[in-house]
Amino acid sequence: MIITKTPFRVSFCGGGSDMADFYREYGGCVLSTSINRYMYLTIHPYFDEQKTALKYSQNEIVHNIYDINHSIFRCVLNDKHISGVEISSTADVPSGTGLGSSSSFTVGLLHTLYCYKGKYVSKEKLANEACQVEIEKLGNPIGKQDQYAASFGGMNFISFHKDDSVSVEPIVTKGETLRQLQDNLVMFYTGLTHDANLILSEQKKNISHKEKTQNLIHMCGLAKAMKCSLENNDLADFGNILHESWMKKRELAGSISNPRIDELYQCAMENGAKGGKLLGAGGGGFLIFYCPVEKQERLKNQLRLKPFDFQFEHDGSSIVYIGDKYWED
């Protein structure tokens, strides 16, 4: 048996600029971090080698991998010519909550299958191949940031270049600054889920509008400003940047926010938060706020949402366990 774990991510600033329709024209960038919440995948040879068994939110047993319902499983297993196995996935957080679970699954599945075949794969290759699967082969209207965040791990400034290349630059800052940032961040689960593809489809369609394009350009500038504040070990403006970025992002598509999210956000800003955002494509999932420690109890009491504890993570997709196996030649 082989077990891998791949982290989820929190995107602070620049989301949306990682979509090809934008970065191929203007270049894009995001600042994000992976967190200690994971997608776990296990694989081992199936008892009946003529069948392939998959366990996720549903169970599938098929004779032919072309008959798999799960699109990512079907695409990747077909590409890697792997069958006769049993693969199970388990996640710390459900899908549709804005933490990049779909891309963490794709990165984790690729990592698991490469390991199963006895092959080393770099973080860069994992991320790039996950993008090819989700965006090019499956045609999902998403960007590239989640795949790179999940693969590389850590807090990074990720740039998306006009030639489709991607560079990942770790944020260099003092440990004390990271601890202070960690302490001042609080996350809450709204209880709402969303279909990221529907929201991103609307956002993608809107990119051609001049006003939306200017919003994304401005958000990239804010991501760079946030990078500078961290590298200068000065968090004084972090909350303000987070707030301004959210105000710009919510204008990219009508479905990114809703009256309930707006109400919760306003409540947070009136009770100690310096800034915040809804994570992921929008519509639901998790809200994160930058709030001084001494004001967090009041914030929690007023929001009346379930807090979600997390820590920054630094490893990215990794192999947890390798048991006995006949390696493929």
* 210 band by pLDDT with thresholds 50, 70 and 90: confident
Residues 223-282: pLDDT tens digits? 999 999 999 999 999 999 999 999 999 888 767 888 889 999 999 999 999 999 999 766
* 318 band by pLDDT with thresholds 50, 70 and 90: very high
What angle in degrees, to the nearest 10, is found between the helix axes of 259-269 and 296-303? 150
pLDDT of residue 251: 86
Q: What is the C-alpha to C-alpha distance for residues 236 and 225, in angstroms, rounded to an integer?
A: 12
User: Which residue bears the tokens 């403006």?
Assistant: 237
**212 has pLDDT over 70:** yes
**201 has pLDDT over 60:** no
Q: What is the mean pLDDT of residues 206-223?
A: 84
Q: What is the C-alpha to C-alpha distance for residues 202 and 255, in angstroms, rounded to an integer?
A: 8
Q: What is the C-alpha to C-alpha distance for residues 103 and 72, in angstroms, rounded to an integer?
A: 10
pLDDT of residue 281: 60
Lowest mean pLDDT among 93-97, 105-109, 174-178: 93-97
Residue 70 near residue 56 (C-beta atoms within 8 A): yes
pLDDT of residue 204: 53
DSSP string, 69-130: SSHHHHHHHHHHT--SEEEEEEESS-SSSSS-HHHHHHHHHHHHHHHHTT----HHHHHHHH
Q: How many whole angstroms from its chain centre is CA 198?
A: 17
* 211 band by pLDDT with thresholds 50, 70 and 90: confident
Residues 11-61: pLDDT tens digits? 999 999 999 999 999 999 999 999 999 999 999 999 999 999 999 999 999
pLDDT of residue 282: 65
Q: What is the C-alpha to C-alpha distance for residues 207 and 58, in angstroms, rounded to an integer?
A: 35
pLDDT of residue 134: 97
